[in-house]
Amino acid sequence: MASLTPPTQRLFDARGRELRYGGRTLVMGILNVTPDSFSDGGRSAALDDALANAHRLVAEGADILDIGGESTRPGHTPVSPDEELRRVLPAIEALADLPVPISVDTQKAVVAEAALRKGAAIVNDIWGLMGDPEMARVAATYDAGVVAMHNRASVDPNVDIVADILAFFEQSLERAARAGIRADRISLDPGIGFGKTFEQNLRVLASLAEFGKLGFPLLLGTSRKSLIGKVIETTPAERLPGTIASNVIGIMAGCAIIRVHDVAAHVQAARVTEAILHAA
């Protein structure tokens, strides 16, 4: 089996800048240029709004900007590659000179490649290189950062979800190695809310340290998700406290990156959590 040596305490973007995560959690700000995302659909669909929101997220302290042009919420309507490109490319091109790397949130290799050409540096793939067969090749060709997320085509309450995620990551990492993706370009996302029951999502959050033993940076994405609304009934807009709670748990378990809508609140929460951890 092809193998990757886990990286040291750093993660690189494709423009050669070093994103250190040892001791400081990286905050990835979410910018959905879609009309139908579950939490903020339509807020950044117009280019001017997208650019304004992007600059706000960076000013609030985002270390990475994650731009997505296709909603992946439960029951979403898939969009064509052309439509996804129409949504994301103008924003990526206009924001390419930001002082933080841009991540493109897509499961399509053709979208990833076009985004990387326009200035994106990271591919955030909800199928962890296991969906589109060309995704690993594209990431390797452009020396891009990769977020490999765990996903399942269907929910199975009887599956051992931790074992399933570990097996999935092993296959993702093998595919990355075969394609020539560098280890210091890869982070892993256990995929909260994707192909999992409520109970499985909770177990994943309680087991984050297990995934950290693989030696790769972990990204955690819980922002405003239904998991929080099932713990205490809330709308997506009301889930900031629960999101912060889950991300603090993630930081304490060693997560390197948190993917959030509310950047300023999470920068503060992350810095306080880190200060306490470092004082121990």
DSSP secondary structure, 123-160, as one string: EEETTTTSSSTTHHHHHHHTT-EEEEE---SS--TTS-
Residue 147: closest CA among 237, 42, 13, 250: 13
Mean pLDDT of 217-225: 97
The mean per-residue pLDDT over the stretch 229-258 comes to 97
Higher pLDDT, 6 or 49: 49
Strand partners, 258: 27, 220
Model confidence band, residue 77 (pLDDT cutoffs 50, 70, 90):
confident
Could you give the percent of the chain with pLDDT greater than 90?
82
pLDDT at 46: 82
Contacts with 19 (C-beta within 8 Å, 6 or more apart), sequence order: 10, 11, 12, 13, 26, 63, 64, 101
Encoded amino acid at 164, one letter: D
13 band by pLDDT with thresholds 50, 70 and 90: low
pTM for the complete prediction? 0.92
* Dist. CA 51–CA 258, nearest whole Å: 22
Token look-up 């409520």 returns: 198
pLDDT band at 4 (very low <50, low <70, confident <90, very high): confident
Give me the pLDDT at residue 228, please.
Answer: 97
Q: What pLDDT, on a 0 to 100 scale, did the predictor assign at position 38?
A: 46
To the nearest whole number, what is the mean pLDDT of the chain? 91
Please give the Cα distance from 180 to 139 (Å, whole number): 9
pLDDT band at 79 (very low <50, low <70, confident <90, very high): very high
Residue 185 DSSP one-character state:
G
Per-residue model confidence (pLDDT) at position 275: 94
The pLDDT value recorded for residue 74 is 65
- 252: Cβ–Cβ under 8 A, 6 or more apart, which residues? 273, 277
* Residue 20 pLDDT greater than 80, yes or no: no
| Confidence band of 6 (pLDDT split at 50, 70, 90) | confident
Q: What percent of the chain has pLDDT over 70?
A: 88
Distance, CA of 72 to CA of 31 (rounded, Å)? 13
* Residues designated as active site: 225, 259
Q: Which residues of 96-113 are buried (b: 16+ CB within 10 A; e: fewer)?
A: eeeebbbbbbbbbbbbbb
Residue 262 confidence (pLDDT) above 90 = yes
How far apart, in whole angstroms, are the C-alpha atoms of residue 242 and residue 249?
A: 11
Helix (H, G, I), strand (E, B) or coil at 258: strand
Beta sheet of 64-68, edge-to-edge order? 186-189, 145-149, 122-125, 102-105, 64-68, 26-32, 257-260, 219-220
Q: 64 pairs with which residues across the strands?
A: 28
The number of helices, as runs of H, and strands, as runs of E, in the chain is 10, 10
Please check the confidence at residue 280 and state whether its pLDDT lies above 80: no
Question: Which contiguous run of DSSP H or E holds residue 257?
Answer: strand 257-260
pLDDT recorded at residue 78 = 84
54: tokens are 């992007």
